[in-house]
Amino acid sequence: MIKVHIVRVNRKAVLPRYATRHAAGMDLAACLDEPLVLQPSGVVLVPTGLAIELPEGFEAQLRPRSGLALKHGITLPNAPATIDADYRGEVKVILANLSQDPFEVNHGDRIAQMVIARYEHVRLEEVEELGATERGSGGFGHTGV
């Protein structure tokens, strides 16, 4: 298992954890002094009280929790949000409320999930022409919907 260093920049922060043995993401909890209300169509930046040090070649993706999305229209407008391996600041979650009702976030509420993923850096090579394929430039539903 790959080790990832984590720091509680706020001593009240809840450490993320996998809710089940094979969960892809660790749940991330809000770290708040007082409850926060997310108004309909509103967007807020929610602190987690955590900072992480990802190994080179890894990113963390923040994703919505489906239960919150389905029941309350709560999503991450920038999903999957990217936490870079060289980022040392506090991990924060951007939440948006797509519902018609205000949504309250309390300290410790699990508001998102964090998936650790590998990525590659590539070297771009500019050429005159790209290799031919059956698809060619067809896209955006050209095979039918």
Ligand X SMILES: O=c1ccn([C@H]2C[C@H](O)[C@@H](COP(=O)(O)OP(=O)(O)OP(=O)(O)O)O2)c(=O)[nH]1
Which residues of the chain form contacts with ligand X (CB under 6 A)?
62, 78, 81-84, 87, 91-94
Nearest approach, Cβ of residue 8 and ligand X (Å):
15
Nearest approach, Cβ of residue 92 and ligand X (Å):
4
Binding-site residue ranges for substrate: 65-67, 78, 82-84
Nearest approach, Cβ of residue 128 and ligand X (Å):
32
Nearest approach, Cβ of residue 119 and ligand X (Å):
12
Nearer to ligand X, 59 or 107 (CB): 59
Nearer to ligand X, 20 or 61 (CB): 61
Nearer to ligand X, 48 or 103 (CB): 48
The residues, any chain, with a CB within 8 Å of residue 141's CB and separated by 6 or more, are none
Nearer to ligand X, 92 or 103 (CB): 92
CB atoms near residue 81 (< 10 Å)? 19
Question: How far are the Cα atoms of 28, 49, 63, 113 from residue 58, in angstroms, in the given order?
Answer: 18, 21, 16, 16
112 close to 91: Cβ distance less than 8 angstroms: no
